[in-house]
Amino acid sequence: MKVLVPVKRVIDYNVKVRVKADGSGVDLANVKMSMNPFDEIAVEEAIRLKEAGKADEVIAVSIGVKQSQETLRTALAMGADRAILVIAADDVHTDIEPLSVAKILAKIVEEEQPGVVLCGKQAIDNDMNATGQMLSALLGWSQGTFASEVDIDGDTAKVTREVDGGLQTLSVKMPAIITVDLRLNEPRYASLPNIMKAKKKPLDEKTAADYGVDVTPRLEIVKTVEPAERAAGIIVGSVDELVEKLKEAGAV
Amino acid sequence: MNFGMTEEQVMIVETTRAFVENELYPHEAEIERTGVLDMDVVRDIQKKAMEAGLYAANMPEEVGGAGLDTLTWLMYEKELGRANYALHWTAVARPSNILLAGTQDQKEQYLYPCMKGEKWDCLAMTEPDAGSDLRGMKATARKDGDDWILNGTKHFISHADIADFAICFMATGVEDTPRGPKKKITAFFVDKDTPGFAVRDGYGNVSHRGYTNAVLEFDDCRLPASAVLGDVDKGFDVANTWLGATRLQVAATCLGRAERALDHAVAYAAERKQFGQQIGKFQGVSFKLADMALELKAANLLTWDAGWKFDQGTVTESDMSMAKLKATEMLAFVADEAIQIHGGMGLMDELPLERIWRDARVERIWEGTSEIQRHIISREMLRALGG
Ligand SMILES: Cc1cc2nc3c(=O)[nH]c(=O)nc-3n(C[C@H](O)[C@H](O)[C@H](O)COP(=O)(O)OP(=O)(O)OC[C@H]3O[C@@H](n4cnc5c(N)ncnc54)[C@H](O)[C@@H]3O)c2cc1C
Ligand SMILES: Cc1cc2nc3c(=O)[nH]c(=O)nc-3n(C[C@H](O)[C@H](O)[C@H](O)COP(=O)(O)OP(=O)(O)OC[C@H]3O[C@@H](n4cnc5c(N)ncnc54)[C@H](O)[C@@H]3O)c2cc1C
């Protein structure tokens, strides 16, 4: 079975984001970019499937600017076998919307015929949380979202989902789209030997046009603003004082 | 000239940095507080470091290392250098490259176990009466049949307490040279439990808490001929040929710590407000930041330059001394200014700055004092004119 893992290049979670002067979005020029952390978890899960003998090939895909190649190399250095880069934008500030990404992924799925697609549940840059679900709709495949546990057994997969009330376990028919949540696993470090090997692994370069997908945005960003600064808190000296303050604030 | 990093180098730096931040930083405070390295913690990190291929990555691929070129290895050292020294030096050990000079038997006994984290090495040259002037060493080894008998004292020997063996440099005679009599030196492997060999506690010291130094005593310590590393009387040749760019290693680890201190200073200057504004807006603070960044970059360029030349085979002693000298003195400056920018908070052990400041002190002394580095640099210039 092949496993397809889409990975997105996003602003590193450690970077303090700054809104562009014209409010059109976040400034991405010269800031550190990394693999979307949820996608790292998906890559890790795919590699574990391979190590467990349940998968025989892990293919990483990234759709975006040319520099997404670095993100794919990271996936290869973690242990993916090969990579597909789909160049769909020249400017790092161009966001490829979930529907366009899902359409391109659907074409790649047709070509590659993976048994499962493992996606991050959302990308930390704009938190759309939509690509996996849209891909599932386009392909007519079953979906298990927000997975905190995945157990693939032949033509079904048991997916444990983190929902508001607790954990929900689904049995989904394979092939399936599974989107992964934070607690599924702890991604490994790209090891030094694998980093050296990554350069020799195949990385195919394509464009959105190769898949006949129009990536023109459908959404218009009206404005982007910095989150309101939080007011400073106070340090209380005792429980009594805390209760006092809460009473003053009408909270108890 | 190309100053860019390769994709591989970027990934190696990222992996090493992530490892240091996730696996080493959380254990630093405890070591700083107690001065003791918890060996269970070390074992745990060691296992993870091996999985990530970071352990002993200084070594060539043939013996299980990462096979990095010198420049890339220094980038890795810089990242490791950010953390508490005792922690990174034991849990992500870089065994001495001199182990590569051993015979096959010696490699089986010392090198490979070090690669697998089963043993730690230490290197003993310095003596109470022989520091910068190593040739002046008094500890001796004399021949007795096929065996050698070792006598004397070494001190300041780093992590000898946890090491399973020491590579010891001993005087094995005197030869006449045009410049007068000169001691002949031979290197030996000495196992910890060898009769006549004792490792005693060294001194408490200001830098690198948890990273101990020891006194080694040799009292008629008998070793077989097979304990000699390299050729008899050629100890310094073995060291010069095999030790590798240890001065650059010191430089690189200093770069990492300086960068960490500077990052703290910049963040604090941007956040801390006094007199109604960010302190970074006062020129008294902002010019400090500029000078710190400038010194750091200069030291970094010198270090990468020497590392790159090391790979090309064109590096000079002066290149390496300049990098070591600049990086160690830069760290002292940057650490001090980072504390200054933090005001009183900079001195408190809540932040890593007070220890980076303490740790900086030894860097100007070991691996050749600043004076010895200046001596090497100037000697190279004067020699050209018959000096
Ligand atoms: C924490 C620590 C760990 C160490 N670990 C090890 C180890 O693992 N193995 C090991 O073998 N050694 C180790 N050393 C020893 C270290 O290499 C020496 O301390 C260093 O070489 C300086 O020698 P010294 O301390 O005897 O000082 P000295 O050589 O006595 O120097 C005293 C002063 O005289 C100056 N001086 C000396 N000669 C000259 C000259 N020709 N021109 C100008 N100035 C000169 C020096 O610069 C210095 O300022 C360690 C030292 C420390 C502090
Ligand atoms: C060990 C210790 C004991 C102490 N004991 C006492 C005590 O008993 N009682 C007490 O009241 N206080 C005490 N203090 C506090 C001490 O007086 C303050 O630490 C000191 O005044 C500096 O203030 P700060 O630490 O808040 O630094 P900050 O004032 O925040 O300064 C941070 C940095 O900004 C710089 N800076 C600030 N303003 C300007 C400016 N206008 N122009 C240029 N640069 C500027 C500073 O020089 C410094 O480099 C103690 C401090 C320490 C470390």
Considering only CA atoms, which of A45, A182, A46 is closest in space to residue A121?
A182
* Res A232: pLDDT: 82
Same domain for B83 and B198, yes or no, is no
Could you give the C-alpha distances from B142 to A215, A217, B235, B247, B309, in angstroms and in order? 80, 82, 14, 31, 40
For residue B278, the ligand closest to its alpha carbon is 2
Q: How far apart are CA B180 and CA A99, in angstroms?
A: 83
Percent of chain A with pLDDT over 70: 100
Give A239→chain B minimum CA distance, Å: 26
Rounded CA separation B97/B309 (Å): 19
Strand partners, B107: none
- The predicted pLDDT at position A251 comes to 85
Domain hosting A211: range is 2-248
Ligand nearest to the CA of B205: 1
B54–A192 C-beta distance less than 8 A: yes
Burial of B374 (0-12, 13-18, 19+ CB in 10 A): middle
B12, A193: Cβ pair inside 8 Å?
no
Q: Which atom of ligand 2 is nearest to the CA of B342?
A: 32
Shortest distance, CA A200 to any CA of chain B (angstroms): 11
| CB proximity list for B30: less than 8 A, separation 6 or greater | B38
> In this complex, do A191 and B57 lie within 8 Å of one another by their Cβ atoms?
no
A192 touches chain B (CB under 8 A): yes
Q: Which residues from B are below 8 Å from A when comparing CB atoms? A: 7-8, 10-12, 14-15, 18-19, 51-54, 57, 66-68
* Residue to test with chain B: of A15, A44, A195, A203, most B Cβ within 10 A: A195
Q: Do B53 and A192 touch (CB under 8 A)?
A: yes
Kindly tell me the burial class for residue B222, based on how many C-beta atoms sit within 10 Å of its own C-beta (0-12, 13-18, 19 or more): middle
> How far off is chain B from A191, nearest CA to CA, in Å?
4
Q: Are residues B60 and B150 in the same domain?
A: no
Token duo for residue B359 = 């740790």
Please tell me the number of Cα atoms within 13 Å of A178 on its side-chain side: 35
Same domain, B182 and B224: yes
A197 touches chain B (CB under 8 A): no
Q: Using the mean position of ligand 1's atoms as its centre, give its distance from the Cα of residue B84 in Å.
A: 22
Q: Is B148 helix (H, G, I), strand (E, B) or coil?
A: strand
B280 & B341 share domain = yes
Contact between A42 and A66 (Cβ < 8 Å)? no
Phi-psi domain of B323 (left: phi exceeds 0; alpha: psi -120 through 50; beta: other) = alpha
Cβ distance B93 to B114 under 8 Å? yes
Taking an 8 Å cut-off on Cβ atoms, the answer to whether A73 and B11 are in contact is yes
Distance (angstroms) between ligand 1 centre and the Cα of B130 equals 8
The residue of chain B nearest to residue A191, with distances taken between CA atoms, is: B52
Contacts of A195 in chain B (CB under 8 A): 8, 11-12, 15, 53
Q: How many CB pairs under 8 A join A and B?
A: 50
> Taking CB atoms and an 8 Å cutoff, what residues of chain B touch A69?
7
Contact A221, A25 (CB under 8 A): yes
Same domain, B194 and B137: yes
Give the CATH number, domain containing residue B29: 1.10.540.10
Verify whether the Cβ–Cβ distance B67 to A196 is below 8 Å. yes
CA–CA separation, B83 vs B89, rounded Å?
A: 10
User: Which residues approach ligand 2 with their CB closer than 6 A?
Assistant: B 272, 274-275, 279, 282, 284-285, 340-341, 343-345, 347
Do B51 and A73 count as a contact with CB atoms less than 8 A apart? no
CB contact under 8 A, B19 and A189: yes
Ligand nearest the Cα of residue B289 is 2
Output the CA–CA distances (angstroms, integers) from residue B140 to A195, B149, B173, B217, B222, in the order listed.
46, 8, 8, 12, 12
Atom of ligand 2 at shortest range from CA of B288: 49
Give how many domains chain A has, as a whole number.
1
A51 touches chain B (CB under 8 A): no
Domain span including residue B233: 123-241
**Ligand 2 pocket: which of B266, B271, B272, B274 to mutate (most atoms within 8 A of CB):** B274
For B58, which residue in chain A has the nearest alpha carbon? Answer: A192
CA angle B23, B25, B29 (to 5 degrees): 130
Ranges of chain A whose pLDDT falls below 50: none
Inspect the interface and report whether the beta carbons of A188 and B51 lie closer than 8 Å: yes
Instruction: Compute how many other C-beta atoms are within 10 angstroms of the C-beta atom of residue B32.
Output: 17
Is the domain of B223 the same as that of B256? no
Max CA separation in chain A (angstroms): 68
For residue B15, the distance in angstroms to the closest alpha carbon of chain A comes to 6
For residue A71, give the chain B residue with the closest CA: B11
Q: How far does the centroid of ligand 1 lie from the alpha carbon of residue A196, in Å?
A: 38
d(CA A62, CA B225): 60
Note the pLDDT of residue B263. Answer: 97
Within this chain, do residues B358 and B254 fall inside the same structural domain, yes or no?
yes
Same structural domain for residues B29 and B92?
yes
Confidence (pLDDT) at B384: 86
Residues B90 and B136 in one domain: no
Residue A26's CATH number: 3.40.50.620
| B342 and B321 within one domain | yes
pLDDT at A237: 87
Query: DSSP E strands: which ranges in chain B?
Result: 123-124, 140-144, 147-158, 165-177, 180-191, 197-201, 213-223, 228-229, 273-274, 277-278
Taking CA atoms only, the protein residue closest to ligand 1 atom 35 is B371
Residue A127 — left, alpha, or beta (φ > 0 → left; ψ -120 to 50 → alpha)? Answer: left
A70 near B CB under 8 A? yes
B38 domain residue, yes or no: yes
Query: Hey, what amino acid is at B148?
Result: W
Choice among B79, B367, B371, B380 that is catalytic: B367
Residue B319 and residue B344 share a domain = yes
Both B214 and B296 in one domain: the answer is no
- Number of the ligand 2 atom closest to the C-alpha atom of B272: 30
Calculate how far, in angstroms, residue B309's C-alpha sits from the geometric centre of ligand 1.
27
pLDDT at B66: 94
Q: How far is Cα A144 from Cα A180, in angstroms, rounded to an integer?
A: 9
User: pTM for the whole thing?
Assistant: 0.93
Do residues B299 and B255 lie in contact, with contact meaning Cβ atoms separated by under 8 Å? yes
Q: Given B241, B265, B293, which residue is the final one in a domain?
A: B241
The CATH number covering residue B313 comes to 1.20.140.10
Q: What is the CATH number of the domain that holds B195?
A: 2.40.110.10
Q: Is residue B106 part of a domain?
A: no
Number of domains in chain B: 3
Secondary element (H or E) of residue B16: helix B7-19
Domain membership of residue B110 (yes or no) is no
- State the Cα–Cα distance between residues B125 and B131, nearest whole angstrom: 8
Choose among A74, A193, A198: nearest Cβ to B53.
A193
Q: Is B367 a catalytic residue?
A: yes
pLDDT digits (tens), chain B, 387 positions: 789 999 999 999 999 999 999 999 999 999 999 999 999 999 999 999 999 999 999 999 999 999 999 999 999 999 999 999 999 999 999 999 999 999 999 999 999 999 999 999 999 999 999 999 999 999 999 999 999 999 999 999 999 999 999 999 999 999 999 989 999 999 999 999 999 999 999 999 999 999 999 999 999 999 999 999 999 999 999 999 999 999 999 999 999 999 999 999 999 999 999 999 999 999 999 999 999 999 999 999 999 999 999 999 999 999 999 999 999 999 999 999 999 999 999 999 999 999 999 999 999 999 999 999 999 999 999 998 987
